[in-house]
Structure formats: C-alpha cells, structure tokens
Amino acid sequence: MSIAIAQARHIFGLKPGVTGNICYHDEQTIVYPSGANCILYNTDQKVQKFIPGTDKSEGMTALAVSPNRRYVAIAEKGEKPTITIYDLHSLRKKKVLTSPDVQSGEYVSLAFSPDSKYLVAQGGKPDWTLLYWTWEKSKVMATAKTSNPQNTADVYQVSFNPQDNTQLCVIGNGIFRHFRYSEGNLKPFPFQKMEPQNFLCHAWVSEERVVVGTDTGRLLLFEAGELKNEFNAGALKEEKKDSLDDGSQPSGPPQISAIVAYSKGYACACGPGMVHLFEKTDDKDFFKKARDIKIPADPNSSDPTKSQQQVIKCLTVSPSEETLVASTDLSQLYYLTLSSADLGKGDQATFEVLAQSFHNSQIMGLDVCIRKPLIATSSLDRSVRIWNYETCNLELYKEFAEEAYSIALHPSGLYILVGFSDKLRLMNLLIDDIRTFKEFTVRGCRECAFSNGGHLFAAVHGNVIQIYSTTTFENVSNLKGHNGKVRSVVWSFDDAKIVSCGMDGAVYEWDPYTGKRLAESVLKSCSYTGVAVNNDGKTTFAVGSDKSLKEIADSSILREVPSGEMTMTNVALSHSGRMLFTGTQRGTLWSMKFPLTIPGEWQEHQGHSASITKMKITFDDQFLITVSEDATIILWKIQDKEGRGLKRDKEVGWAEEILITKSDLEEKNSNMSELKTRVEELKMENEYQLRLKDMNYNEKMKELTEKFIQEMESLKTKNQVLKTDKDKEEAKHEEEMSELMEKHAKELQDLESANNQKLMLEYEKFQEQQAKMMKMQEDYERQLQEMEESKEHALEELTEYYETKLQEATNKLEQANDESRQLSREYEETKRQIEEDADREILDMKNKYERKLRDEKEANMKLKGESGIMKKKFTSLQKEIDDHKEEIKKFQAETNKLNNIIRNLEKDIQGLKKEIQERDDTIQDKEKRIYDLKKKNQELEKFKFVLDYKIKELKKQIEPRENDIKNMKEQIQEMESELERFHKQNTQLELNITELRQKLKATDKEMHQERQKVRDVEAIVRRFKTDLHNCVGYIQDPKMLKESIKALYQKHVQEDITESASVDADIQKEYSRQREHLERSVASLRKKLEKDSEIHKADNVRIMQENVSLIKEINDLRRELKIARTSIHDLEAVLGLHSKNNKKADTATLAQITAKNPSALMVRDLEEKLKIIEMQRFEIRRLRNEMSDIEMGSRPPSGTKLQPITGAV
C-alpha cells in the first residue's frame, strides 16, 4: 500500500486577469502564471520550473519581479489576501506578507522599489488601500487611500519611480496621483486640476516623466505632475481602419491597455492586436512613432482575423532590450525581436507566437493514444489541439465554427472523434491539417471514446450511449438505461465491457456487442461525474457530488472513502493497477493511497485554479494529463513509491506514420522539384559570383601588396630619419640634464639652510604653545571640578524626585490590592447567595416542572451576564495591577541607567587625565621622530635622484630593444607565411616538371621519326635526280626519251604511291597519338585548374598563347609539306610516268638518259627541293630549341583547351 508520486513536468496555458502576468527573470527565462502555479519558462531550452500556489488561496491576482531579477512577488486573493515573495534562483519562499489594514479580499497591483528592498501593494475594493512594505522585515511602513473620497473609482496600477524609492505613481478611473514616502506617511503631491479621464496604464520613461494611457486612445506625458505633451494614438488607429475598410473592427476609440518603457522610448498597446513603438526625439518633450507591430492572422482558424482582435493586456521587455513580449486577454503569448524591428523600419512588423498557442476557454475533452505520444484536447473556444507529451510541443491545431464538447483519439493516433454542438465528426489527422471524412447525426455529444482496439467507438446522445464501428460506421448497438445525462464512458482493457456513470446516480457495466446491462450500482443521492475501471474489468472507481470516492465490484459498493469538504470531479487509475488519482473542484490533484483504506489517505498537489474536467494516464503509466475549466493542461510525471511502472519496449518505439492526401503529396513533390531546380540555379549563380569575386579579390590583393611594399619602404626611410633625430635629442637632453643637476644641487643647499632657520623658529613657537597648554589644562581641571559638584547636586534632586514617585506608586498598588480583595469577598458572597437561591429553585422545580424550567433559563441567562460582568471587572483590575508593576519596573530600570551614566562619567574623567599624560609623551616622541625623518628624507631624496636617473637610462635601453623584438616578430610571421607559399609553389612545380618530362619523351620520339622520314625522302630525291639526269640525256631522241620517262615513272611513281600510303598511315597514327596525348593532358589539367589559375594566372595566359602559336606553326608546316608532295605528284603526272609495264627497261633507259644529257630544268628543280628540305631542317631545330626553353622555364600546365589539329603530315 502506497501513495504514488506526481510531479508537474509541463503546463500548457496562461492565466488571464493577473496584473503584470508576464515578466522577465533573465534574458532566456520568462515568468508567467498558469493555473495555480507561477511558471519560469526557458525560451532556449524549452524547459519549465514551477512555483506552486499556496493552499486555500482563490487564485493569483498580481505578479511582479524585482528590478535586480532575484525575487518574484505573487498576490493571491482569499478571505485575507496574501503576498508571497519567492527567490527566483532557489525557488524557495522568502516571506509571506499579510496586513489587517486591508479590508479587500485581493491586491490589484504590485511593484518593487528600484533597489528591490521595498514593495508597494494596491488593495482592491471597497477601501482601495495602498501599502508600502519593507518586505524583508514584513513591516508596513505606511498606508494611504488611493481612490476618490467615496471609494467608488477603480484603481488599476501602481509603480515606483525608477530612480527614487520614496516616490510612487497610482492610476485608475479618474485617478492620477503621485505619493512621496516621508516620516512614516505617504503624502500626495499637489497637482494642477484637469478633466477626469479613465487612466488604464502608465510607465516611467525617466526620473521625472510618466507616460499615461487612457481608454480613449490618448497618451499623456507628465513631468513632475504637469502635463507636457499629448498624443492621440487612437487617431492613427482610426485612419488605418478607414484605409483598410475592415468591417470586423470594433466601434469606438481604441484603448491604451498596456505600456512598457525601455532605453530608446516606450511601447504601448493601442486597440485590438496592435502595438506602437515610440522613440525619443531631440525635443525632450516629444516622442515620435517608429513602428507598428500587429498580432498575425491565424491560418488554422475558421476566422483568421479573430486572433488580430485580441486585446494586449501586458507588455514586457527583456533585460538586454532584445525582445518584446506581449500577453493577451485570450491567454496567448507573443514576442518580437526588437533588433529586427529596428532593422526593417518603415514596414509593419508582426509578432510571433511564443512557445505554443494555448486554449483560452474551458477544456471539455481530453484523450491519449497508444501508438504515439499524443494528447488530444477540445475546448469551448472552438479549437481542437494535438499535443506531444514527449517534446512538450503543440503538434497540430485547428479552430472550427462550432464549440467542441468532447474528443476521442484513435489508438493509432491517426484519427480523432470530436463531438460538436451540431454533429459528431470523425476526422483524419493529416501532416498539417485536421479534415473531416465522416459525420454522424449526434448533436451536442458530451462524451465519446474509442475502444482500446480502435475497431469501435462509443458516443453519448442524450441519455443513450451509441456504439459505432470504426470501419463500416454502422450503429452496432444502443445502450439505454440512464435517466440523466451520461458524464463518463470508459472501455475495459479487453474491450469486453463499457462502464458508464451519469447525473442520475447510476454506474452501469454494459456488453457493447449485445447492448445488455451486465452490472449496476445506483445511488440517487449522488450525481456521478467520473469513473475508472481496472485492467481485469472487475473493479470500478467512481466519484460524484457526495464528496466521496467509491470502489464498486459486483454491483455493490465495497468501500466509500470520504473526501471531507472537497468535491472530487474525476478519477484515473493506472494501467498497472497500482496508482489512483482524483481531481477536485478546486483544481488540486489528489494522489490516493492504493489499495483504498478507510479513512482515506492522500497527497495533495497544487495544479489548476479551477475544477478539473478530465484526467487521463498514458498507456506506459509514465504521465498523467489533467485539464481544467481554467483552460490549462498539466502534464504530471507519475510513479509509485517503489518507482515501478510499465516498461515500454524501446525497440518498438513510437509510430512515425502520418496521414497525407494524394493531392497534397503531389503538390508538395512538385514544390520540392521546383525548389530543387531553383537551388541548382542559385548554386550555379553563386559559383559564378564567387569566381568573379575571387578574380576581383586577387587583383585587389596584388594592388594591396604593392601598396604595402611601397609603404614599408617609406616607413623604413622615415624610421631612419627618426633614429638620427633621436640621437640628436639624446645628446641635447644629456647636456640639459647635467645643467639641471648642478642647478638642483645649489637649490638643495639653499633650501637646507632656510629650513634649519624655520625649524628653530617653529621650536620657539612650540615652547610657547606648551606653556599655553599647561594653562588651559589647569582651567579645564577647575571646570571639571565644578561640573562634578553640579552633577552630584542634580543626582541628589533626581533621587529625591524618583523616591517620591516610587512611594506614590506603592501606595496606589496597596490601594488596588485592597480593592481586589474587597471585590473577591463580594464575589464569594454573591456566589453563596446564588447557590442558596438555586437550591430553593430546585425544590420548587420538582413540583412545577414547566414553570421552573422557564425560570431556570431566565435565571441562568441573568447569572451568565452577571458572572461575565464580574469576570470583566476582575480582568480589568488584573490588567491595572500588571500595568502598575510594569511602571515600577520601568522606574527601577531608569534609576539603574542613571547610576550607570554616573559611573561612565567618572571613568571618562580618569581616561581624559591619562590621555593628557599620554599626549605629552607622544609629543616628545614625535619631535624626535620628526628630526630623524628629516635626516632620512634628505638621504632618500639623494637616493631617489640616483634611481630616477638609472630608470631613465634603462628605459632608453629597453625601448629600442622592444621595438626590435616587435619588428622581428612581424618579420618572422611574414617569413612563415612566405615559406608556406613557397612550399605550395614547390609542390606545384614538381607536378609540372613530371608532366613536361613526359612531353619531352613524346617529342623526342616524334623527332626521331621525323629524322628517319627526312633521310628516306633525301634518298628518294637523290635516286630521282640521277634517274632524271639520265632521262634528260635522251632529249634529242624522242623514242628513247619516252621510254626513259616511262621507266622513270614506273620506277618512282609505284614506289611513291606505296610510300605515300605508308606515310599517310603514319600520319593518321601520329595524329591519333597526339590527340590522345592532348586529351589526357587536358583532362589532368582541368582537375588542377582552380589551384593553378589562382597562383599562375598571368603565366598561364602567356604560355597558352605561345602553345597556340606553336601548334599553328606545326599545322602550317604540315600543310606546306602536303602541298609539296601534291606538287611532286602533279609533276610526275605531267611527265607521264604512270605506266606500270617494263619497269626494269624503263629504269635502265632513264638511267641512260640522265647519265648522257643532264637537263638545266631538272637541276633547278632539284635545287629548289633541297632548299625546301634545308628550311624544314632549320624549322625542326628551332622547334627543338623552343621545347628545351619551355622545359627549362618549368611552366605550369595550361588552363584552357588547345585548338584542334587542322592538317595532316
């Protein structure tokens, strides 16, 4: 048997109607009331701490945080209103303040003084008393009535001057008053008379100036009680309203409902959903409007503009003035970052929701599910909200056109069942929306519940419980039997039973499939409001209006635990069957001792400020959720005494599935694809921009380095000039120092002689003063003797006076004692007579019972009155005796005090005599010390001069060394950066060298092939020359010439064709090899493009141009070679050497012709061919030289693509 532990983990909600209901503790923590608790909410970590309300309080009415951010004051109403001070760091109670001076049951406003030592509290109606406390001593320093003389005007707010602990400001309906605390009173300031207005709020903007807001939208600036300026914020609001043409705006001028001041100016809430920021101007009497901030529209509401109609009740600014927080009359919190508001001046800023959006009316429905950590709530504010109790966040919410009376969450967490005023709706929980997919004609369904399996749900329709199938939506059965409204419906763990209770005093168990009643317990005197059933379905627990908790089994009440004077509204039993909780009408949570005992035992926890309407325990028994009529949801962490609970299978985890419609998914996918393309475009654009910036920055860096080098050179020259100037100044300074030293020595000697003369004069004056002192001492002793005599005389007179007073007091005391003895004797006599009368009356009463009874009653009444009078007399006499005794004690204490004074005066006289003697001795000692100190002073001055000179010399030596060290450090840093740059360059150059070596090998190979080709061509040309020479010899013999030409053609053309074919194949091979080589080099170079382009951009451009020109030259040479070969081929064709017959004969003939008759034309042609070959050789040598130069230059690889080879060799 044990009582379960319950600790509040998180509270969703804000309590409206509390003055100053939002404050800052530090930059990340805000303080606000919720239910019966005060919450410290960390906006960064999303964690809450709690200050619970006091027992038997009727709720909070006002809140204030001290300026040093250490304490919070909470005012609570009740028969005797209390103010409780808590330490915000330890959350411990510091003081509880109550005062009999307040007739009201509540405080309407609180404020701490600037030094946080004083607290001012404004009481409510009917007396409107203002209290000025020293709260650490729990002492009321002063009180004042702040309302009008008839006490009919309401007072709204009180505050301290931010620079003055003694000055207060109070505002109300027609009331604007300043008070100053002095000598235990609050004195009002005299003000100039003005027309009465309903002042709603105010704030101090400086030490003397107060801004006050009215219900007509006017802002009044007062300085020292005088009206300095007036600004109509309502007029601006009206103009905007006309321009918007919004018919939903309320009629009448907007009210200034809240003002908060900060360093730049102040912020005021003007009308529904609007805050104006005002900033200081150069004219100190005027503030200009800087920004408008409005509450955003709610897209999840059926009327999005409804949220913009909220009235802002309180404003606060964070300690660093970074954030503005607002609370509204509909229990919502909004914030704005002021720095962002300043950045975007000119536009209208909008608030953002702080933490979550809360319910603002009674929460009627609550449910949890099995597969997800979700809580579903429904409220009379027409909203349905889905909360996550693990992350403590609002997952989803939607506002509807009708009020939501009840809600049930499917075990899967994917559907909800909501009972509206017109219909019962089954809805899908989508990823970002709540949509209806089935409606049932059940009007005003106050209770509904899904079965634990999720295949059925129960809905209450009047007095009937209807069971529907979740899959087919058929009405499976109707449970009829209740005569009153059904207030609670619960499924058993195995879904085999339904337990219901109602206003008719009946608790029924039903079979949901057959509709039969399995068990019943009827108690018509009790109106049941809540029921719970254990896992096996055999035991039911019910609470109702008869202030007791009942344990029901087998249609009979096993135990009935009374709850005293408290009505329990709801009950919840854990799935483990070891923890039982009940909710009360006052909003407290009771953790019951379980199993139940009579009388019952429980632990009470402060939670809500109004009646708890629903309670649910999560499936894993980790959390208890309670909702209340105060629109708050409290998440309690629960465990039994042994810390046991249902262990959740962590491997299974929570379900992560969500519902989404196909159209929404397609739309989201299309949006995603569009966004992806946009991202790609932005990436490309950003890369391009970055490349451009890199180029610009590189150019700027070059310019800056050049400029820096120039400045370095100029600084070096300046430094050299300054060094020469410094040497000159040092020499000059040394000369001046030597002159000053000589001058100082002379002045020192003169001063010593002058001081010795002065010392002699002073010693003579001292002798005179000593004589005067001896004379004054004699006079003082004589006066002292006279004072002693007068004192003795006065003492004698006082003793005589007090002895006479003491005698009179003793006489009075004896007289009082005699009177008391006389009164006691009279009392005894009357008592004896009364006893005799009573005996006589008893004898008469035996004969006449009725008459005697009446007479006895009358006599008893008389006797009671007389005895009361006697008792009062006796007590009054006793008080007088005690007072006389106290006066005697006071007189004795006074005589003792006077004796002590006399003794102290005698001690003072002796002390003064000793002091005179001691002073004489000290004067002689000080004279000796003065002489010794003067000697020491002279020695120390000499020593000081020497040390000063040494210090100056050392400083001169240290300063250049420090400068050298600084310069050396800078050089080392520069050299390190340069070394790092050289390392990078070396690695890059090594890569370039390896590439160039590979290229060199390829070019060497090409060169050897070219040389071989040239040798082959030379041999062919030589052979052709000889054959042609022989053929020319037959120029006179046409027949022989023809034969020789044929032989020449057959010999050379056949060979030439095959040779040209082989040459063409080689060219193709060379072309493909070069192309592959170039493609490989281009691929490797592209990878290194970014690094190399940054380091060697200019070199790359130059070498690229050289490469292009070289390749062009190679192509031109190939083209020329091809043209030459075609010309040779044409020449052979002209000569007719195309026949393939008689090759040997023709060659022989050709040899004969050429041997006999060499032709001048052939010789000239051969010479031209030789020149061409020589030129080709020269060009090859030039190309080789250029290649060797390129290799020696270690150029980096080119960053651009080379031109394609256009010709073939």
Q: Cα separation of 52 and 908, whole Å?
A: 60
Confidence of residue 1139 (pLDDT cuts 50, 70, 90): very low
Q: Cα separation of 788 and 1138, whole Å?
A: 167
Which pLDDT score, from 0 to 100, does residue 152 have? 77
Instruction: Give the closest residue to 410 by CA, choosing from 446, 436, 363, 371.
Output: 371
The tens digit of pLDDT for each residue in 406-436 reads: 999 999 999 999 999 889 999 999 888 899 9
pLDDT for residue 245 is more than 50: no
**What is the residue type of 487?**
R
Average pLDDT over residues 829-853: 77
Handedness of CA 725, 726, 729, 734 (dihedral sign): negative
**94-108, 301-315, 842-856, 1039-1053: which has the minimum mean pLDDT?**
842-856
pLDDT for residue 444 is more than 60: yes
Which pLDDT score, from 0 to 100, does residue 1140 have? 47
Confidence of residue 1059 (pLDDT cuts 50, 70, 90): very low
Average pLDDT over residues 783-806: 86
Provide the pairing of β-strand 349-350 with 287-294.
Answer: parallel
Average pLDDT over residues 748-777: 85
Higher-confidence position of 1138 and 867: 867
Higher-confidence position of 800 and 284: 800
Confidence of residue 235 (pLDDT cuts 50, 70, 90): low
The tens digit of pLDDT for each residue in 686-708 reads: 999 999 999 999 999 999 999 99
Average pLDDT over residues 476-497: 91
Beta-carbon contacts of 872 under 8 Å, excluding residues fewer than 6 positions away, are none
Q: Cα separation of 228 and 430, whole Å?
A: 58
Confidence of residue 1172 (pLDDT cuts 50, 70, 90): confident
Average pLDDT over residues 1106-1128: 83
Average pLDDT over residues 342-350: 66
**698-707, 769-778, 1050-1059: which has the minimum mean pLDDT?**
1050-1059
Q: Cα separation of 499 and 952, whole Å?
A: 101
pLDDT for residue 543 is more than 90: yes
392: number of Cβ within 10 Å: 17
Q: Cα separation of 662 and 659, whole Å?
A: 10
Which pLDDT score, from 0 to 100, does residue 868 have? 80
To which residue do tokens 């809500």 refer? 608
Instruction: Give the closest residue to 136 by CA, choosing from 169, 166, 97, 177.
Output: 97
- Burial level of 1197, CB count in 10 A (0-12/13-18/19+)? buried
Q: Cα separation of 434 and 302, whole Å?
A: 12
pLDDT for residue 584 is more than 90: yes
CA dihedral 771, 777, 783, 787 (to 10 degrees): 170
Q: Cα separation of 611 and 35, whole Å?
A: 10
Average pLDDT over residues 13-27: 91
Q: Cα separation of 194 and 202, whole Å?
A: 17
**What pTM value is reported for the model?**
0.59
pLDDT for residue 448 is more than 90: yes
Higher-confidence position of 1100 and 228: 228
pLDDT for residue 1116 is more than 50: yes
CA-to-CA dists, residue 20 to 30, 40, 65, 67, 161, angstroms: 12, 14, 9, 14, 17
- Burial level of 6, CB count in 10 A (0-12/13-18/19+)? buried
The tens digit of pLDDT for each residue in 166-175 reads: 899 999 988 8
Average pLDDT over residues 883-890: 87
Helix (H, G, I), strand (E, B) or coil at 1185: helix
Average pLDDT over residues 640-651: 62
Which pLDDT score, from 0 to 100, does residue 821 have? 84
Average pLDDT over residues 522-535: 90
Q: Cα separation of 166 and 132, whole Å?
A: 10
Which pLDDT score, from 0 to 100, does residue 243 have? 43
Helix (H, G, I), strand (E, B) or coil at 435: strand
pLDDT for residue 1205 is more than 50: no
Provide the pairing of β-strand 424-429 with 434-440.
Answer: antiparallel
Which pLDDT score, from 0 to 100, does residue 501 have? 93
Confidence of residue 242 (pLDDT cuts 50, 70, 90): very low
Which pLDDT score, from 0 to 100, does residue 1158 have? 53
To which residue do tokens 């901030």 refer? 293
pLDDT for residue 576 is more than 70: yes
Give 1005-1020 as a 3 state SS string. Answer: HHHHHHHHHHHHHHHH
Beta-carbon contacts of 393 under 8 Å, excluding residues fewer than 6 positions away, are 46, 356, 387
Helix H or strand E segment including 1041: helix 1038-1087
The tens digit of pLDDT for each residue in 277-301 reads: 888 887 766 788 888 899 998 888 8
Higher-confidence position of 1086 and 680: 680
286: number of Cβ within 10 Å: 13
Average pLDDT over residues 831-854: 76
Confidence of residue 827 (pLDDT cuts 50, 70, 90): confident
Both tokens assigned to 482:
């209740």
Half-sphere exposure of 212 (CA within 13 A, CB side): 30
Helix H or strand E segment including 996: helix 849-1032
Half-sphere exposure of 663 (CA within 13 A, CB side): 0
Helix (H, G, I), strand (E, B) or coil at 1114: helix
pLDDT for residue 1063 is more than 60: no
Max mean pLDDT among 34-48, 286-300, 838-852 falls in: 34-48
Which pLDDT score, from 0 to 100, does residue 1061 have? 46
Give 809-843 as a 3 state SS string. Answer: HHHHHHHHHHHHHHHHHHHHHHHHHHHHHHHHHHH
Confidence of residue 1162 (pLDDT cuts 50, 70, 90): low
Average pLDDT over residues 1074-1080: 81
Which pLDDT score, from 0 to 100, does residue 1054 have? 58
Average pLDDT over residues 632-660: 77
Both tokens assigned to 580:
């039982």
**What is the residue type of 123?**
G
